[in-house]
Amino acid sequence: MLRRKPGKMVYYFGKLETEGSADMKLLLGGKGANLADMTFIGLPVPPGFTITTDTCAAYYKNGNRLPHGLMNEVHKNISMLERETEKKFGDNGNPLLVSVRSGAAVSMPGMMDTILNLGLTDASVEGLAKSTGNRRFAYDAYRRLINMFGDVVMGVDHHKFEEQFDKIKHRYKAAQDTDVPEEGIVELAAAYKDTYRKFVGDEFPQNPFKQLELAIEAVFKSWNGERAVSYRRLSGIQGLVGTAVNIQTMVFGNMGDDSGTGVGFT
């Protein structure tokens, strides 16, 4: 049985090393503990790492600031992910992309925020296009990131991005989102960046580690967001110190007709 390590804020799961286990839900959250356990028994789990619930508590104790040393641990774990996946975070040739998800010890479905495709930039989106041979997919992933990051991290109303998508669909006479051609999706990513700049007052971050730092902080903030607080109150959930943050290598459900995503229940 694995145990918590004093002072450790980040626990890796992957073929290189798996540091957590199913009995560590209070520290790693339900999702993080189970991801570690499934990895440990040999199931095909995309590698990643979990930031502990204690770190979330420390964030609030520290005046809503990330604890000292956290991002150093995050950098070390990204380096492990790069070795395991043979990709590089923010690379313009074969970029590593990650998802950022919350994960409390008790399941709170839909109550906290998720960010996908993190690590894409103006340079790395072209690398993703080359490495996958699918430029439409790459720019679709990029515009999704800009939308989610703008909404979740910076508080830009999601509908501001949807308005831009509606304009593109109208321009290309597309009945469905999937009917928009490659050039339309490239234009849409640019329009999303313009929307982000307009409502945030700054450019979309082109440093992937800055994206990651801001996303981690957004997940911590969501723990005390109105939705999450109300859900815990109505569900009688008490005694939890915070949420964990799960950073995991991206897999994609939008690469074509032979890919998809779903949720399984047992």
For the cut 60, the answer to whether the pLDDT of residue 1 exceeds it is no
Q: In this predicted structure, which of 128-142, 231-245, 251-265 has the lowest mean pLDDT?
A: 251-265
Within-domain flag for 261? no
Q: Do 86 and 9 share a structural domain? A: yes
Q: Do 238 and 115 share a structural domain? A: yes
Provide the pLDDT for residue 106: 87
Q: Do 100 and 53 share a structural domain? A: yes
Q: Do 225 and 98 share a structural domain? A: yes
* Banded model confidence at residue 200, pLDDT cuts 50, 70, 90: very high
What's the total number of domains in the chain? 2
Within-domain flag for 265? no
Q: Do 218 and 195 share a structural domain? A: no
In Å, how far are 110, 153, 203 from 196, measured between CA atoms? 24, 11, 7
Structural domain harbouring 87: 1-120+208-253
CB contact at 8 A, 89 and 77 = no
How confident is the model over 133-187, as pLDDT tens digits?
Answer: 999 999 999 999 999 999 999 999 999 999 999 999 999 999 999 999 999 999 9
Within-domain flag for 264? no
Q: Show Cβ contacts of residue 89 under 8 Å, excluding neighbours closer than 6 positions.
A: 78, 81, 82, 95, 96, 98, 119, 208, 209
Provide the pLDDT for residue 227: 86
- In the predicted model, what is the mean pLDDT of residues 64-80? 98
Q: In this predicted structure, which of 125-129, 160-164, 226-230 has the lowest mean pLDDT?
A: 226-230
How confident is the model over 35-61, as pLDDT tens digits?
Answer: 999 999 999 999 999 999 999 999 999
Within-domain flag for 199? yes
Provide the pLDDT for residue 25: 95
Within-domain flag for 240? yes
For the cut 80, the answer to whether the pLDDT of residue 258 exceeds it is no
Q: In this predicted structure, which of 143-147, 192-196, 211-215, 218-222 has the lowest mean pLDDT?
A: 218-222
- In the predicted model, what is the mean pLDDT of residues 104-119? 85
- What rounded mean pLDDT belongs to the chain? 93
Measured CA to CA, the distance from residue 155 to residue 153 in angstroms comes to: 6
Within-domain flag for 156? yes
Q: Do 44 and 155 share a structural domain? A: no
Q: Do 99 and 11 share a structural domain? A: yes
